[in-house]
Amino acid sequence: MKKILSLILALSLLLGCAAFAEEAPQLDKDLVILYTSDVHCGIDQGWGYAGLYAVKQSLSKDNYVLLVDDGDAIQGEPIGTMTTGEAIIDIMNAVGYDLAIPGNHEYDYGMARFLELTEKANFPYLSCNFNKEGELLFAPYAIKELSGVKIAFVGVTTPTTPRSSTPKYFMNENGEYIYTFMQDTTGEALYAAVQKAADDARAEGANYVIVMAHLGDEEECRPWRYADLIANTTGIDALLDGHSHDTEQVIMKNKDGQDVVRTACGTKLANIGALTITKDGKISSKLYSWNQDIAAPALLGLDNAASEAVAAASNVLSEKLKTVVASTTVDLIINDPYTTTADGKPVRIIRNTETNLGDLCADAYLDQSGDADIALVNGGGIRVSINKGDITLNDILKVHPFGNSLTEIEATGQQVLDALEWSVHAMPDQFGGFDHVAGLTFEVDPTIPTPCVQDENGMFAKVDDTMTRRVRNVLVAGEPIDPAKTYKVVSHDYQLLDAGDGYTMFKGCPVLQEAVKLDNQVLIDYITGTLGGVVGEGYENPYGQGRIVSVNAE
């Protein structure tokens, strides 16, 4: 009998311990993970950083709150350009970020500068796929523990980064890529990197795994879009996304058929993303949206640590940026003037359609080169519209915020034809490398499958000559382009010398002018000089002058 009682007691203890071991720790109050993405230096737009700080402080009264950023914070407005990102890091420190990941535009001031800024940040950067010669530069994940619950954050940056930033920043002096993002053509390398980070975090005791991603949903990012990643991994509870500036809230199945929450918050602090993990383990996402014409800091008169940091950074620049340098009698656009989305938001067309602002920027390059035959300006480098009225220095700096420089090369007509084909390869979808042109005109049929072939890094490799080209009837100064003839082509160093947006066909071309003047100065000098300080005549049509004609399009 004693033996039986002992066995029963031992079994009871064993079962009790097993039940205790299987019982996961629970939060004693809800956790709200606030996140931002693609702020692009919009420090006082939408919610503004002061509004973000206020939201964080308010939610912290009754919840655990963590604040993270999904990349593209330090570039996009004059305050970033004129401080090479430092002012933004100062502000993010004041707001109190816990974690961040690099977006593709974190590298736009050069690799050395970005790494220097990460040292200045009071928060760590994460990335499980950013490496130098095979070695990760940042921790792949970080774990935050709250009331005994461990939440892991895995960082991942789009493998399109070398193409969508400046390729040379990722190369050594011999032009060889030494900084990479696990960009194989199948996506398997990226999936494996994220899976390893998630598995390692789980092995370390993580109860939840949250991916902080700068991947997006754009077709040109396949096979590295958020949906591709989720569908090919397991063990991820949620994915906070950026890069494509969308605001989609999605629940989709992972590789094992389990639900994963994907959330994105747009750009310029119009929304603050919020992922909530409740005390009973339920996960949901929402956006705190600011839909007023006046930004939150101004309308609410916010005065806090973030507003003080924004003011300190802004005061240095404000007077100079207010300088009126010209005027325009027409609205110069990047968004469709007549069409909006179902929820009333603007439809960006600068990356797949000719516009009057695109024409103006291309004309400026052609004019300021002095002797070029053809000008090309990528739509992804034309960031904001200019409204009718006075044009300030700030307006022009916002149009061209990247600090690229006028460069002129000699290229054959065949290279130009290949460049045009690459320019329109994503149509009707958007592509940052969609070129606005001056000195030439052409037709494009976007219903034909693109004949462009990409290499493993997503760069232009060749045109498949067994397929029909989309581009036709190319005229240079009114004459059919000659594939064997040499033309003088002007653009910026990003596209012509650094293969930005994948334009590899110009590699090795003779350079006639290199980094002559900054892109925003090109635009200023054209408007104030050649146009006499007034934009209007010839730019009345928001859809441009008919230089790029889409045929057979719906």
In 3D space, the residue among 39, 37, 375 whose CA is nearest the CA of residue 212 turns out to be 37
What pLDDT score was predicted for residue 336? 95
Of the residues 309, 335, 356, the one at which a domain ends: 309
pTM for this predicted structure: 0.72
Asked if residue 537 lies in contact with residue 330, where contact means CB atoms within 8 angstroms, the answer is no
Residue 434 DSSP code: P
- 124 and 212 part of one domain: yes
The reported pLDDT for the residue numbered 322 is 84
pLDDT value at residue 3: 55
Q: What is the C-alpha separation between 55 and 450, in angstroms, rounded?
A: 46
The whole-number pLDDT of residue 2 equals 53
Looking at the structure, tell me whether residues 454 and 371 fall in a common domain.
yes
Residue 46 lies in a domain: yes
pLDDT at 84: 85
Residue 504 lies in a domain: yes
Same domain, 336 and 260: no
Neighbours of 343 (CB within 10 A): 7
In a domain, 2, yes or no: no
**Residue 416 counted as domain residue:** yes
C-alpha distances out from residue 525 to 64, 298, 321, 494, 532, Å:
52, 34, 16, 20, 10
Residue 298 sits in the same domain as residue 338: no
Give the pLDDT confidence score for residue 5 in this predicted structure: 47
Q: Is the dihedral of CA 243, 315, 406, 382 positive or negative?
A: positive
Per-position DSSP letters for 62-107, written without gaps between them: TSEEEEEE-S--S-SSHHHHTTTTHHHHHHHHHHT--EE---GGGG
107 and 165 Cβ atoms separated by less than 8 Å: yes
Shared domain check, 364 and 275: no
335 and 211 housed in the same domain: no
443 with 494, same domain? yes
- Tens digit of pLDDT for each residue in 13-25? 444 444 434 567 8
Residues 353, 300 share a domain: no
List C-alpha distances in Å: 202 to 130, 154, 262, 372: 21, 11, 20, 58
Final residue of a domain: which of 284, 309, 334? 309
Q: Is 303 domain-assigned?
A: yes
Residue 505 lies in a domain: yes
**Whether 276 and 378 share a structural domain:** no
Half-sphere exposure of 231 (CA within 13 A, CB side): 9
Low-confidence ranges of the chain (pLDDT < 70): 1-23, 553-554
- On whether both 236 and 285 belong to a single domain, the answer is yes
- Give residue 83's domain range: 24-309
> pLDDT, tens digit, for every residue of 260-306?
999 999 999 999 999 999 999 999 999 999 999 999 999 999 999 99
Domain-located, residue 483: yes
In the listed set 285, 309, 333, which residue is the last one of a domain according to the structure?
Answer: 309
What is the pLDDT at residue 554? 54
Any idea what the CATH number is for the domain that residue 371 is in? Answer: 3.90.780.10
Q: Are residues 477 and 423 in the same domain?
A: yes
CATH of the domain at 294: 3.60.21.10
Q: Which ranges of 150-295 does DSSP label H, i.e. alpha helix?
A: 161-164, 188-203, 226-231
47 and 94, same domain (yes or no): yes
Q: What is the total count of domains within the chain?
A: 2
Domain annotation covers residue 314: no
**For residue 279, which phi and psi values (nearest 5 degrees)?**
-60, -30
Q: Using alpha carbons only, how large is the chain's radius of gyration in Å? A: 26
